[in-house]
Structure 1
Amino acid sequence: MSSYFSNPSEQMAKQFQQGWEKATETTQKWFEIIKSTPSPQVGLTPKDIIWRKNKAQLYHYQTTTPKIHRIPILIIYALINKPYILDIAPETSLVKYLVDNGFDVFMIDWGTPDLEDQDLSFNELVLDYIPKAVAKIVQTSCSNEITILGYCMGGTIASMYTALHPQPRIKNMLFIATPIDFEEAGLSSVYIKQEEYNVDKIVDTFGIVPKSFINTSVFMLNPVNNYWGTYSRLWKMLHDDLSPHSWMLLNKWINDPLPFAGEAYRQWLGLYKTNKLVKKEFELRGRIVDLANINSSILILGGTSDHIVLPEQARALLDHVSSQDKTYLEFPVGHGGLVFGSQAVKKVYPAIKEWLEKRSGGDIA
C-alpha cells in the first residue's frame, strides 16, 4: 500500500526537479543573451545613397528583381527612431518585400540631429527637404507621379507635404499607424495636455531633446509591458525552445532611438495640445496645411492593439481629405506589428502589395 502512495510523490518530485533544471537553464540563457549576445545586423537590403541634405539621406533600394511598376514609392519615416524597422531583417522587411515584388523604392533617413540642428523644424523638413528628395526621385525614376508611404510620424509629415505640394502628382498615399487627429490620443493626451507639461521649457532647456527623454516618454505609455513584459517574453521564448532572433531584432530597434530636434519637438507636441492639423490651423511659414487639398488614392492601416497611435487617430484622415479612393484596414496588432513580425509578413504586406499593384501604373514594359 505504501508503494502505491509513494509513486505519485516520486513522480511529482521528478517533474519538479526537471522543471527546476529547465528554468535554471532558461535563466542562464536569458542572462547570456541580455549581457553578451552580439547585436543583430539590420537594414540589409542593398541601397545607394543618391541625395543628401544636412544629416538626411535619400536611399534608393537595389534588387536583381526587375522593376515592373512604373510609379516609385517614397517612404517617409518618423524623426525619433531609426528607419531600419522597415528593413530590419530579410525575413521581415517591408522594403525587401516591395522591391522583390517589382516596386521602385526610396526612403528618407533623417539622420541624427546634433546641437546645431536645434532649430530644425517641420518648416524645413516639409518645405525644403522633402521637395528636393522628391525632385531627385522624379529624375531618377523618370516618373511624374509618385507614391508616398508614411509610417507613424512620417505619415503625418507626408500629409503636410502633400497638402502643400500638388506637383509632382502624389498619386497614392499609404499611412501606417499615422496620427492625424490628436484630440484623443490615449495616455499621450493624459500627460501631454497637462498644464505642467511645459513643452517650451523642455525645448529651451535641452535644445536637442535627448533620446533617453523620448524613450522614457514612450515606454511610460505601457510601463509594465515595456519595462518588464519584454524581458519576460524573451524568457518564455527560450523556455519554449524558440529562437530569440525576432526578439533581439525588435529589442534592438526599441532601444535605439534618436534625439528630437527642439523646434520640431515643439511643433509635434503642439499638435497633441491643440489638434491644429485637423482644425486647419497648423501653419508652415505662414501657409495653412489644409488636408482637404489631398486627393490622392489613400490606404490607411491601423493596429487594434496600438497604444501609441490609436486606430481612431489614424482613421480620422478619411474625414479630412478630398480623395474619392480611400480605404481603411485594421489588423489585430500593435504599433510595430504593422511592419514587423509574422502578422505583418502574412497579412499586412500582402494587403499593401495588392492595393499598390492596382494603382502603380501597370508594368513598365
Structure 2
Amino acid sequence: MKKPFLHSESAADVGMEIQQSYDRLLETTRKWIDILHFDPLLETGLTPRDIVWRKNKSRLYRYVNHKGYKHRTPILMLYALINKAYILDLRPGMSLVEYLVDQGFDVYLLDWGEFDWEDRDLSFSQLIVDYISRAVYKVCQYSNVNELSILGYCMGGTMATMYASLYPQPRIKNMIYVAAPIDFEDAGLSSIWLKASVFDVDKVTDTFSLIPKEFVDLGLKMLNPVNNFVATYTRLWKAIDEGVSIEAWKALNKWVDDNINFPGKAYREWVKYLYQENALVKDEFIINGRKVVLSNIDAALLVLTGKTDHIVLPQQSTPILELSSSQDKTNLQYPVGHGGLVFGSRARNEVYPTIAEWLAQRS
C-alpha cells in the first residue's frame, strides 16, 4: 500500500527544518541589530546651543539661531523627569528643536540632568519653585520679554500645568501639551497596576529612597511588552520604509534605554497624589503650600495626543481644555504612539509644522 506523501516522520522533518530556518533568521536578525545598536560615535542633541543658566545638575539651554528671530515670544521646552532631553533634539532632520529654530523661534530647553542619591528628596514643590520658575524668569530675561510659550512633553506638560496655575507673571501666552497627562482617572494599565489597594508606593519609596531607573524602565516597558521587547526588530524595517535614517532609528532606541533615576519624594507624590488620588483635576495638588487650580490657566492651548499611546492615553490630556479658562483651544490627535508625536515621519511631516504654524499665529 502506497504511503501518504506526508507521513508522520516526514512532517516532523519538515517542521524541524522550518524551526531551524526560523532560528537562523532570528539569530541573523539579532546579530544585525547588535551591530546596528553598537555605535560609540552616535551623537544626539546636536542643535547648537548655549548654557544660559545652571542650578545643581540642571541646565537651561538657549539654542543658537543664525537665521534671526521671526517670532518675538520665546519657547521653553520641558520633558519628563525619568528621560533624557534629547528626545526633543534627536538627530538632524528628526528634531523638534531644530525645526522650530529653523522656523525663526527663540527656543529654550530645561535639562534636568541625571538624578542620583543626593537628589532623592527632591519634591515637585522644589522642581516647580526652584527650577521651572527660575528657568522661566531667565528665559524672559535673556529674550527681553514679559511673556513666553511653554511646550511640555509627557510629564513635562504636567509640571508646566502646575507652574502655570500658580505663576501669573511672567505671562504664559501659549501652552503646548504633547502627550501630557492631566487626568489620571483612567490611565489604562497604569491605573490598574498603581491602584492604592495593590501598590504600596510608601513601601517602594521607603525601600529605594531613590527609585532606580531600571525599576521605572521595566514598568513602562511592561505596559506593552510585545512592542517593547520584540517589535524593536520590526520597527527598524518600518523606519526604513518610511524614509527614516538608520542613525535616527538607532538614536531613538538609544533614548528608549537611556532613562534616569526618579527622585523618591517626587515619585511618591506622582503615584500617590496623581495616579491614586487624581488630585490635579480636583484642584487638590499642593505645591509649596498652595493648591494647583487649573482654572487659573488662561493661555492659548494646543493639545496633541497619540491615538495608540499606551503610556499617556488621549483622555488623560484633553480635560485641560475644559478645566482651564482658556478661550483659545485646539485639540489634535494623530494615529501614533507616545514617541510618534516627536519622532518619525508623521512627526516630521505633520506634527512639527502644526506646532510651528500654531505658534507663529500666536507669537
- The answer to whether the superposition gives a TM-score over 0.5 is yes
5 Å-filtered alignment, 1:221-240, equals: 221-234=223-236
> Aligned residue for 1:79?
81
Structure 1 residue 275 corresponds to structure 2 residue 252: no
Residue aligned with 2:150, SS: strand
Residue aligned with 2:93, SS: helix
The change in CA–CA distance for 1:298 and 1:233 in structure 2 (over 3 A counts) is: closer
Task: Return the match for 2:329 from 295, 318, 326.
Answer: 326
The structural deviation recorded for 1:29 is 2.7
Instruction: Specify the code of the residue in structure 2 equivalent to 1:69.
Output: H
Instruction: Specify the code of the residue in structure 2 equivalent to 1:252.
Output: K
In the aligned structure 2, how far is the partner of 1:27 from the partner of 1:115?
36
> Aligned residue for 1:345?
348
CA contact (8 A) 2:242 2:345 kept: no
CA contact (8 A) 2:244 2:344 kept: no
Instruction: Specify the code of the residue in structure 2 equivalent to 1:325.
Output: D
TM-score by length of 2: 0.89
> Aligned residue for 1:173?
175
Structure 1 residue 311 corresponds to structure 2 residue 314: yes
Instruction: Specify the code of the residue in structure 2 equivalent to 1:183.
Output: E
> Aligned residue for 1:119?
121
Q: Which moved more, 1:110-119 or 1:95-104?
A: 110-119
Q: Which moved more, 1:227-236 or 1:117-126?
A: 227-236
The structural deviation recorded for 1:349 is 0.5
Instruction: Specify the code of the residue in structure 2 equivalent to 1:60.
Output: R
The structural deviation recorded for 1:245 is 2.5
Task: Return the match for 1:91 from 90, 93, 102.
Answer: 93
Task: Return the match for 1:263 from 262, 265, 281.
Answer: 265
The structural deviation recorded for 1:206 is 0.9
Instruction: Specify the code of the residue in structure 2 equivalent to 1:63.
Output: N
The change in CA–CA distance for 1:242 and 1:273 in structure 2 (over 3 A counts) is: closer
The change in CA–CA distance for 1:318 and 1:238 in structure 2 (over 3 A counts) is: closer
Task: Return the match for 1:47 from 49, 55, 59.
Answer: 49
The structural deviation recorded for 1:160 is 0.3
The structural deviation recorded for 1:284 is 1.2
CA contact (8 A) 2:148 2:173 kept: yes
The structural deviation recorded for 1:108 is 0.4
The structural deviation recorded for 1:232 is 3.9
> Aligned residue for 1:7?
none
The change in CA–CA distance for 1:240 and 1:309 in structure 2 (over 3 A counts) is: closer
Instruction: Specify the code of the residue in structure 1 equivalent to 2:287.
Output: L
Structure 1 residue 299 corresponds to structure 2 residue 302: yes
Q: How big is each residue's C-alpha offset from its partner over 1:45-83, in whole Å with a ceiling of 9 and x where there is no partner?
A: 001111111111100000211111111001111100001
The change in CA–CA distance for 1:237 and 1:288 in structure 2 (over 3 A counts) is: closer
> Aligned residue for 1:104?
106
In the aligned structure 2, how far is the partner of 1:343 from the partner of 1:183?
29
The change in CA–CA distance for 1:243 and 1:110 in structure 2 (over 3 A counts) is: closer
Task: Return the match for 1:143 from 142, 145, 157.
Answer: 145
The structural deviation recorded for 1:30 is 3.2
Residue aligned with 1:92, SS: coil
In the aligned structure 2, how far is the partner of 1:110 from the partner of 1:133?
11
In the aligned structure 2, how far is the partner of 1:79 from the partner of 1:170?
22
Q: How big is each residue's C-alpha offset from its partner over 1:313-356, in whole Å with a ceiling of 9 and x where there is no partner?
A: 11111110000001101011110000111100100011101100
CA contact (8 A) 1:26 1:239 kept: no
The structural deviation recorded for 1:240 is 11
In the aligned structure 1, how far is the partner of 2:171 from the partner of 2:215?
38
CA contact (8 A) 1:26 1:235 kept: no
Q: Which sections of structure 1, spanning at least 5 residues, go unmatched?
A: 1-15, 361-365
The structural deviation recorded for 1:192 is 0.4
Residue aligned with 1:347, SS: helix
The structural deviation recorded for 1:280 is 1.0
CA contact (8 A) 1:315 1:328 kept: yes
Structure 1 moving runs of 4+ over 6 Å: 235-242
Q: Give the total of aligned pairs.
A: 341
Q: How big is each residue's C-alpha offset from its partner over 1:64-108, in whole Å with a ceiling of 9 and x where there is no partner?
A: 111111110011111000010000001110000001100000010
5 Å-filtered alignment, 1:131-210, equals: 131-210=133-212
TM-score by length of 1: 0.89
The change in CA–CA distance for 1:280 and 1:231 in structure 2 (over 3 A counts) is: same
In the aligned structure 2, how far is the partner of 1:216 from the partner of 1:298?
33
> Aligned residue for 1:363?
none
Residue aligned with 1:91, SS: coil
CA contact (8 A) 2:76 2:149 kept: yes
> Aligned residue for 1:130?
132
CA contact (8 A) 1:150 1:178 kept: yes
The change in CA–CA distance for 1:79 and 1:25 in structure 2 (over 3 A counts) is: closer
